[in-house]
Amino acid sequence: MKQSEAKERILRLREELSRHNDLYYRQNSPIISDFEYDILMNELETLEKKYPQFISEDSPTLRVGDDTNKDFGQYSHKYPMLSLGNTYNEGELRDFIDRVDKLTDGPVQFVCELKFDGVSISITYVNGKLFRALTRGDGVKGDDVTLNIKTVKNLPHIIQYDSVPPEFTVRGEVVMTRDVFNRLNDERVSEGNEPFANPRNAAAGTIKTLDPKVVASRDLTCLVYHLLTDKEIHENHFDNLMEAKKWGFEVPGSLVVCSNIDEILKFINYWEKERENLPYDIDGIVIKVNSLSVQEKLGYTSKNPRWAISYKFKAEQAATRLISVSFQVGRTGVVTPVANLEPILLAGTTVKRASLHNADQIELLDLHIDDTVFVEKGGEIIPKIVGVDHSLRNDNPDKVLFIPNCPECGTELVRNEDEANYFCPNYLHCPPQIKGRIEHFAGRKAMDIDGIGEKIVDLLYSKGLVVNYADLYDLSYDQIVVLEGFQDKSASNLINSIQRSKAMPYNRLLFALGIRHVGETVAKTVAKNFNTIDKLINATPEQLMEIDEIGPKIASSIVNFFADQENLAIIDRLRKKGLMFGESKGEEKTVSNILKGKTVVISGTFEKHSREEYKEIIEKHGGKNGSSISSNTSFVLIGSNMGPAKKEKANKLGVSLMNEIEFLKLIGEY
């Protein structure tokens, strides 16, 4: 792989993984399994190791997924809230045990626990009273969901026990039991609402509900797996959990102490079968070093403890009959075949539909209608067909064939040589593509127009009010207020947020345009190098490819987008409405040269500005942003929670540290 290809792939993987993080942690509707996610993550890790020049502090390999949203207040975690490394087989588990053995002296004891499939929560108690509950957030700060958590019945609000320290934190998983989940979904369906896909999504959605009464009615359960105190109570994890149990927390009795891999494997094998009899879902086993001093010695990476690992169970399978195949057209025009199945119970939920991926997969399976197929829930998310029981094939001659035309607009489908998917090339006029593009444009990471989601776009489109994103800026209060579900306030709110979005910076607008292969990061890079839309419209593929991160695929996608007269007309309308195409933006200009010749690395979290804002500030004052600490770094701008490893590296290289206030004073902002 050439360097430029590696860089392009790294960026692509980062964007993909960030998108999946967002779908999982913020929208509670993941579209790939944990296993598939881990494959992408491993590829990115391998590439970043091989090409360390492209490592960036923002990479998903170094940061945990972020669940925070602006509906909640945020607070910092007293102890960072990390994730866990995953293993999927005995070999990977043995590697973990060997690593632990190598880094410690003497035999190590492990605690094996169930890996509950829900949402993690960190709850602090002060003077025996439930004080604050935070979601994991970005691991450094989380959303304050105290009021919601107080409705969880199996959590004590007040603890009166001699051994309770003045302040402590318990961490655990908020889950929805299968019983509650099935009842809730029955209710939702009978009320005409979309059912939740699985108990994990239901628990995650519930914990982020704004009305604590709704949360209370959903009957969540909290299972505790970690006790954190400033002063040590017991010297090992197992005894800590037993202590928490005495105080009234629900610590499932399944946990055991193991001294070797055979005992660990026995625990894993037992629960892999027995899990179907639990009242809630588990998706694996967590193996933790028992001794706290050994845990401390092993320490942490930026994302995971080195003293714990998860072992993920293989996906569960079931056999059922294929009734028919439908074809769905997505936002980008990709056509996905979906199998309609005779309903079957799998991993606690009823499955009626499953993904078939693409034409090759259908061909590979040699699929016929009426076939008995094996369905698998990879990581318990979207089920997929993984095989056919050919011995049960009847004489139904209906072989499943991929459709030649778009089911939405009739256009002939196209398949590019090096791609697995068929897509509908009629991107400007095919309804799901039009709606998807408007939704993307309004999305949180693009123009962030509050109130425009799938339903509203559907409504606006069905009324003929919008057929492309420029139409949004022509909408009036009078047109909105008469629509179903709108009232005076909601209509003016919608118009206001559309108007507000006009101030979004050029790079966000560029991302919002929905050019194929131009994700968030690529849009930023392109905007930096072609600082007005006119320069970009006139750019040749060669000029675009002079940017390190841009290879032939992205370059031709950009050039094709701007070669289309309809796109240019839409851009022209947006420009006339006053959107920011990088033209005469004074704010992009350099404000001072205080940081000229300086390379600054940002680390930690900040109070006065976000990390992104600091990056811009550094550039505006003539400085450069460095991605990792090296001897070229002039200084590190440090927020709270800077990792110890980074501090040590800076010390070693003699790179000075500057805190937020010192920095703001330097640039004259304080």
Binding mask 94-113 for ligand IVH (x = CB under 6 A): -------------------x
Q: Which of 115, 208, 615, 646 is catalytic?
A: 115
**In terms of CB distance, is 22 or 534 closer to ligand IVH?**
22
Residue 202 binding ligand IVH, by CB under 6 A: no
Structure tokens at 537: 């419209």
Question: What is the 3-class SS of 109-165, one letter each residue?
Answer: CEEEEEEECCEEEEEEEECCEEEEEEECCCCCEEEECHHHHCCCCCCCCECCCCCCC
Distance of CA 414 to CAs 13, 366, 425, 442, Å? 25, 22, 7, 28
In contact, 239 and 89? CB cutoff 8 Å = no
DSSP 320: E
Stretch of 78-86, 241-249, 385-393, 534-542 contacting ligand IVH, by CB under 6 A: 78-86
What is the nearest approach in angstroms of ligand IVH to the Cβ of residue 118?
7
What is the nearest approach in angstroms of ligand IVH to the Cβ of residue 411?
43
**In terms of CB distance, is 85 or 541 closer to ligand IVH?**
85
Stretch of 79-87, 438-446, 459-467, 582-590 contacting ligand IVH, by CB under 6 A: 79-87
- Pick from 18, 59, 68, 120: which binds ligand IVH (CB under 6 A)? 120
What is the nearest approach in angstroms of ligand IVH to the Cβ of residue 80?
9
What is the nearest approach in angstroms of ligand IVH to the Cβ of residue 233?
18
**In terms of CB distance, is 82 or 155 closer to ligand IVH?**
82
Burial 168-206 (b: 16+ CB within 10 A, else e): bbbbbbbbbbbebbbebbeeeeeeeeebbbbbbbbbbbb
- Side-by-side strand order, sheet with 256-258: 86-87, 308-312, 282-289, 110-116, 256-258
What is the nearest approach in angstroms of ligand IVH to the Cβ of residue 350?
24
Q: Is the dihedral of CA 605, 610, 613, 617 positive or negative?
A: negative
What is the nearest approach in angstroms of ligand IVH to the Cβ of residue 180?
18
- Please list every residue from 362 through 391 that binds ligand IVH, using CB under 6 A: none
Stretch of 114-122, 178-186, 384-392, 639-647 contacting ligand IVH, by CB under 6 A: 114-122
Binding mask 319-358 for ligand IVH (x = CB under 6 A): ----------------------------------------
Residue nearest to ligand IVH (CB): 120
Residues 270 and 390: their CA atoms lie apart, in Å, by 31
195 closest CA partner among 335, 37, 351, 34? 351
- Pick from 116, 247, 441, 635: which binds ligand IVH (CB under 6 A)? 116
* 173-177-180 Cα angle (round to 5): 135
Name all contacts of 239-245 with Cβ < 8 Å and 24+ positions apart.
240/292, 241/111, 243/163, 244/170
Residues 531 and 507: their CA atoms lie apart, in Å, by 9
292 closest CA partner among 128, 423, 109? 109
Q: Which residues pair with 175 in a beta bridge?
A: 221
Stretch of 76-84, 213-221, 380-388, 415-423 contacting ligand IVH, by CB under 6 A: 76-84
Residue 173 binding ligand IVH, by CB under 6 A: yes
What is the nearest approach in angstroms of ligand IVH to the Cβ of residue 69?
18
What is the nearest approach in angstroms of ligand IVH to the Cβ of residue 375?
25
What is the nearest approach in angstroms of ligand IVH to the Cβ of residue 141?
15
Structure tokens at 589: 């200009």
> How, if at all, do strands 599-603 and 635-638 pair?
parallel
Contacts of 324 (CB under 8 A, 6+ apart): 339, 340, 369
Stretch of 80-88, 238-246, 314-322, 379-387 contacting ligand IVH, by CB under 6 A: 80-88
What phi and psi, each to the nearest 5 degrees, are found at residue 370? 85, -5
The dihedral region occupied by 388, where left means phi > 0, alpha psi between -120 and 50, and beta the remainder, is beta
Residues 296 and 308: their CA atoms lie apart, in Å, by 12
Question: Residues in contact with ligand IVH, total (CB under 6 A)?
Answer: 14
- Pick from 44, 84, 289, 629: which binds ligand IVH (CB under 6 A)? 84
What is the nearest approach in angstroms of ligand IVH to the Cβ of residue 575?
45
Question: What is the 3-class SS of 563-605, one letter each residue?
Answer: HCHHHHHHHHHHHHCCCCCCCCCHHHCCCCCCCCCCEEEEECE
Binding mask 579-618 for ligand IVH (x = CB under 6 A): ----------------------------------------
Asked if 115 is an active-site residue, the reply is yes
Binding mask 278-317 for ligand IVH (x = CB under 6 A): --------x------------------x--x-x-------
Stretch of 81-89, 154-162, 345-353, 360-368 contacting ligand IVH, by CB under 6 A: 81-89
Residue 87 binding ligand IVH, by CB under 6 A: no
Burial class (CB in 10 A: 0-12, 13-18, 19+), 498: buried
- Pick from 27, 74, 76, 83: which binds ligand IVH (CB under 6 A)? 83
**In terms of CB distance, is 33 or 433 closer to ligand IVH?**
33
- Please list every residue from 216 through 235 that binds ligand IVH, using CB under 6 A: 225-226
**In terms of CB distance, is 232 or 583 closer to ligand IVH?**
232
Burial class (CB in 10 A: 0-12, 13-18, 19+), 377: buried
Structure tokens at 403: 């459709």
**In terms of CB distance, is 124 or 507 closer to ligand IVH?**
124
Stretch of 18-26, 115-123, 259-267, 643-651 contacting ligand IVH, by CB under 6 A: 115-123
Q: Which residues pair with 339 in a beta bridge?
A: 325, 354
Catalytic residues: 115
Chain residues in the site for ligand IVH (CB under 6 A): 82-84, 113, 115-116, 120, 173, 225-226, 286, 305, 308, 310
